[in-house]
Structure 1
Amino acid sequence: MFLRLLAGGAAAGLMGGLWVPEAVAAEPTLGQQVNAHIQKLRRAGSIPSDERTAWSVYDFTTGTKLVSINEDKPLQAASMIKPFLAQAYFFRHQEDSGKYPYDDLIRAKLEAMIRHSDNHASNFFINRVGADRPAPERPREVERVLKRYAGGIFRQTSIVEFIPSNGRTYLNQASAHDYSRFLYAMCEDRLPFVKEIEHYMGLPNRDRIQDGADAVPGSVELYHKSGSTAHVCGDMGVVVARDAKGVQHRYTFIGIIQKDSRAKDYGGWMRARGDVIREVSGLVYNFMRGRHGLVG
């Protein structure tokens, strides 16, 4: 019943009675700051014309969307798709826990996929979710499962390929808004076993939201998944910070930069674009510090 309710409200942006905040609630101030920063980088030549960016920030404390820039544009997902693969598996587990168990093997595979971004583990879940389909159709089956049970979340998500052994995955797509809706549902515990996914997203690893972002203190909690190829660099996550009284304030942060042509120096391009995401993350944290009196 829970799964049917979740799917039934897709067109209206409802998930089993849960309203998913949309961009109409956006406040201009922070969005204008982010846009001005990106335009400054474009004028300086740091972000050329063949690169598109997307940004999204949602403040749980006030219930407002603070940034919505190219939020509904489908972009390459890279490894940011991996929490979605986990959610598809948990939808299957909800259907039949015997056929799709949540046991030690699955736990190990989830940690490998989400924490360590292991591509073999990702393909393991694509094969398991799509096991009843011929191999070439299994990625699409993952997408169908997601949209069957939570179409209101995964609106621009397209899963059409396994993760190649060389990691050059360019065809799977999702929008910043898809990530935002998923993270909102994760924080509100509105998807089956989504708190398990949150656990794996919270395990220590390298990120582009806190690590190297000078304005973001090490004391914040972060639940995230990054992704990168020679065409895309991104990170999506939930930041949990505290004010001087110890009260928690959560916000989502999604930053994606996609390049039309393949980067000639993948490592250098990834580091440079990762630093752009860190700059914007710091800008967002400074705004939230002033808004909620965050420490650090």
Structure 2
Amino acid sequence: MNQSHDFRVNATPDDEHVFCPDRRSFLAVLAATSAGLLLGTPTFAEAASTGSSLQRKVVDLVKGMRRQGLIQPNEKTSWSVYDFTARQKLVSINEGIPRQAASMIKPFVAQAYFFEMERSRGRLGYSDDVRRTMERMIQRSNNPATNRIIDLVSERQSRRGPADVEAVLKQRAPGVFKETRIVEKIPETGRTYRNLASAHDYSRFLFSVWNNRMPNSQEQRRLMGLPSGNRLSGGVAGLPEAARVYNKTGSTAMLCGDMGIIEIPDRRGRMHAYTMIGVIERPSRTTEYSRWISGRGNAIRRVSNLVYLEMKDRYRLV
């Protein structure tokens, strides 16, 4: 599977990035250093990796939100934007670092089932019951529905539950799900903290689904496009009603995120699509869940609005 759209940045979980910058990237790193970026803000290496003006704007916006207390010093973030029209990665900030996935893992679970459907050559079907279970999992973020799909995948493997889902993904698309770890089902309380994925994984997945490089890509897009709450356009004043969003949110007392594709027409009616991925992670559970998740959701909305305004200028979007 072609992954040429993504930049290759090696990263360790401690934000210590190993990279070999060219002269332009090296100068960008020096500029970032002189600007006084501190630990917890977007990493120098990835902030310099694309050299895009949008990337600099996102870095500045995140720094500003940290100064305002909208993102705390101990909270880590990842951001990613890919422009399908230009075939260019515009933002890559802490993209390769695995973070808690929460419910953003659910489209991956669906994809594992679609892989098994393809492998079965007709023996595993997509019944109305399975389709409705998928819809509950993605649209309503229903946890028992998610666990049911995990079981259906595992029944055709070694009955190890979540580990079988990860194994299917790694076997069928190892270049996409590189940092993905699926080790637990999702309890009814929703307190799932051990499943992991990186913004880069989400980016590669969305790229593949949008370009029909995954089995049942059309159905995956339909599921992710069903009306539901999101932090990419919902509550974002600048985005037009004409925007179509294909996404999945993730919310726990330690994680606020959203990953998806936004598609908007230009003034001539031509459609332009881009990915928008934002993840904010805490080191411990918040004791004020509603307040925290609302505030971090608004931080993601501010970045999404910034990205939209950039794309609007670039393509004369409505």
Same-fold status (TM-score > 0.5): yes
> Is the contact made by 2:3 and 2:175 (CA closer than 8 Å) also made in structure 1?
no
Give percent identity, aligned residues only.
46
Aligned residue-pair number: 278
Per-residue deviation, 1:219: 1.2
Alignment partner, residue 47 of structure 1: 71
- Equivalent residue for 1:249? 272
Residue correspondence of structure 1 range 118-267 to structure 2 within 5 A = 118-132=142-156, 137-267=160-290
Alignment of 1:77-156 (within 5 A): 77-132=101-156, 137-156=160-179
The letter for the 1-side match of 2:296 is R
Deviation at 1:133, TM superposition (A): 5.6
Aligned-partner Cα distance in 2 for 1:216–1:134: 46
Instruction: Give the aligned CA root-mean-square deviation in angstroms.
Output: 1.3
Tell whether the 8 Å contact from 1:122 to 1:163 is kept in structure 2 after alignment.
Answer: yes
Could you tell me which residue of structure 1 aligns to residue 61 of structure 2? Answer: 37
Q: Does the CA-based 8 Å contact 1:27-1:65 persist in structure 2?
A: no
2:213 corresponds to which letter in structure 1? R
Check conservation: 1:60, 1:250, Cα contact below 8 A.
yes
CA–CA separation in structure 2 for the residues paired with 1:250 and 1:146: 25
Shift of 1:20: 3.6
The CA distance in 1 between the partners of 2:272 and 2:157, in whole Å, is 43
Deviation string 1:77-135 (CA, Å, 9 cap, x unpaired) is 00000000000001111111554211101110010000010000100011111115665
Summarize deviations over 1:225-270 as a string: whole Å, max 9, x none.
Answer: 0010000000001000111101111100000000111111111100
Q: TM-score, normalised by structure 2?
A: 0.85
Q: TM-score, normalised to structure 1's length?
A: 0.91
Q: Identify if the C-alpha distance between structure 1 residues 202 and 143 changes in structure 2 by more than 3 Å, giving closer, same or farther.
A: same
Q: After superposition, give the CA deviation of every residue in 1:204-234 in whole Å (9 maximum; x if it has no partner).
A: 1111000101111121011000010000000
AA at the equivalent of 2:127 = D
Residues of 2 paired with 1:98 and 1:250: CA distance? Answer: 33
The AA in structure 2 aligned to 1:265 is E
For 1:292, the aligned partner's letter is: Y
Rounded to whole Å, the distance in 2 between the matches of 1:203 and 1:75 is 25
The residue identity in structure 2 corresponding to 1:164 is P
Bigger CA drift: 96-105 or 255-264?
96-105
* Contact residue 71 and residue 175 of structure 1 kept, 8 A: yes
Q: Give the C-alpha shift of residue 169 in structure 1.
A: 0.5
Deviation at 1:181, TM superposition (A): 0.5
Residue 21 of structure 1 pairs with residue 5 of structure 2: yes
C-alpha separation in 1, matches of 2:4 and 2:202 = 12
Partner deviation per Cα, 1:109-162 (whole Å, 9 max, x = no partner): 010000010000100011111115665x21011001001000100000000000
- Residues 80, 275 of structure 2: 8 Å contact kept: yes
Structure 1 residue identity aligned to 2:5: P
**Aligned partners of 2:209, 2:302: CA distance in 1, in Å?**
25
Q: Which residues of structure 1 form unaligned runs of 5+? A: 1-14
Q: Specify the alignment match of 1:75 in structure 2.
A: 99
Cα distance in 2 for residues equivalent to 1:70 and 1:190: 25
Contact 2:70 2:299 in 1 (8 A): no
Code of the residue aligned with 2:224 in structure 1: it is M
Decide which moves more: 97-106 or 265-274: 97-106
CA distance in 2, matches of 1:251, 1:28: 15
Read off the aligned partner of 2:273 and give its amino acid letter.
R
Distance 2:77 2:126 in 1: 37
- Once the two structures are superposed, residues 43-87 of structure 1 have per-residue CA deviations (whole angstroms, 9 ceiling, x without a partner) of 222211110000000001111100000000000000000000000
Matched to 2:174, the amino acid is G
- Structure 1 residue 33: deviation in Å? 0.4
Could you tell me whether the CA contact under 8 Å between 1:216 and 1:281 is conserved in 2? no
